[in-house]
């Protein structure tokens, strides 16, 4: 019905072998470097314990333990196993782990498994159902200059009294000083 025999199978496999090129003579395909395809992020894995500061111009993902300050010109993401005791600064901060300290960013999101103990300074703050926030939140005005790109947002905010840049981690803003004096 199918007209298939073992002799046909040998012939097909022999033809395949003779038609394929040897490995050495195959042309090597090299893709040109492209900024759009390169993923740049700093990752602290669950089995890592870090004592000190981490600063990056790219995204930072924390899934381990950090005792120190974290700053990024882009985003900081604290994953399920992430545990930070220190200050966090990023354009966007997403907490799905634990943060004890001051958090500064244009956008701060506390996910369902996230917990933040400390002050938050942000233009946008959202807390998902199940997320825990213990501390005080402070609204920071958004940058209104249309020419300001996302990467320049943090330095632009620093020029105002609302300080959110990495170089100001651990330093009090004028608003924080008022809060401390009123306590």
* pLDDT on residue 164: 46
The predicted model gives 9-22 an average pLDDT of: 49
pLDDT at 158 over 70: no
The set of residues, in sequence order, having a beta carbon less than 8 Å from that of 145 and lying 6+ positions away, is 156
Residue 111 lies in a domain: yes
Burial class (CB in 10 A: 0-12, 13-18, 19+), 5: exposed
Of the two residues 110 and 38, the one the predictor is more confident about is: 110
Tell me whether strands 70-72 and 137-139 are parallel, antiparallel or unpaired: unpaired
Q: What are the tokens at 57?
A: 């111009």
In DSSP notation, 26-39 reads SPPP-PPP-TTT--
Two structure tokens written together for 36? 């759009």
Tell me whether residue 121 is in a domain: yes
The yes-or-no verdict on residue 85 having pLDDT over 70 is yes
Note whether residue 48 is domain-resident: yes
Mean pLDDT, rounded, for 118-129 = 97
User: Domain for residue 22, yes or no?
Assistant: no
At residue 142, the pLDDT reads 74
Considering Cα of 69, then 72, then 73, then 76, what sign does the dihedral take? negative
Checking if the pLDDT of 3 tops 70, the result is no
The answer as to whether 107 is a domain residue is yes
Predicted structure pTM score: 0.62
pLDDT at residue 160 is higher than 60:
no
pLDDT tens figures, 29-65: 555 555 555 668 899 999 999 999 999 999 999 999 9
- Domain contains 9: no
Residue 123 lies in a domain: yes
Q: Is residue 31 assigned to a domain? A: no
The count of structural domains within the chain is 1
Average of per-residue pLDDT across 63-68 = 96
pLDDT of residue 89: 97
Residue whose C-alpha is closest to residue 136's, from 178, 166, 80 = 178
**Residue-number span of the structural domain to which 112 is assigned:** 41-178
Asked if 141 and 162 count as a contact pair (C-beta separation under 8 A), the reply is yes
């Amino acid at each position: 019905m199918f007209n298939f025999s073992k002799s046909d199978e040998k012939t097909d496999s022999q033809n395949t072998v003779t038609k394929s090129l040897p490995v050495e003579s195959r042309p090597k395909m090299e893709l040109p470097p492209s900024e759009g395809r390169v993923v740049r992020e700093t990752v602290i894995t669950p089995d890592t314990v870090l004592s000190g500061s981490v600063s990056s111009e790219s995204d930072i993902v924390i899934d381990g333990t950090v005792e120190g300050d974290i700053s990024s010109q882009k985003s900081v993401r604290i994953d399920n196993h992430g545990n930070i005791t220190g200050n966090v600064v990023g354009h966007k901060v997403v907490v799905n782990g634990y943060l004890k300290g001051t958090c500064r960013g244009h956008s701060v999101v506390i996910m369902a498994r996230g917990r933040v103990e400390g002050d938050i300074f942000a233009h946008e703050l959202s807390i998902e159902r199940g997320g825990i926030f213990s501390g005080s939140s402070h609204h920071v005005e958004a940058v209104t200059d249309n020419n300001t790109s996302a990467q320049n947002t943090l330095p632009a905010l620093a020029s105002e009294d609302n300080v959110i840049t990495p170089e100001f981690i651990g330093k009090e803003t004028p608003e924080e000083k008022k809060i401390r004096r009123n306590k």
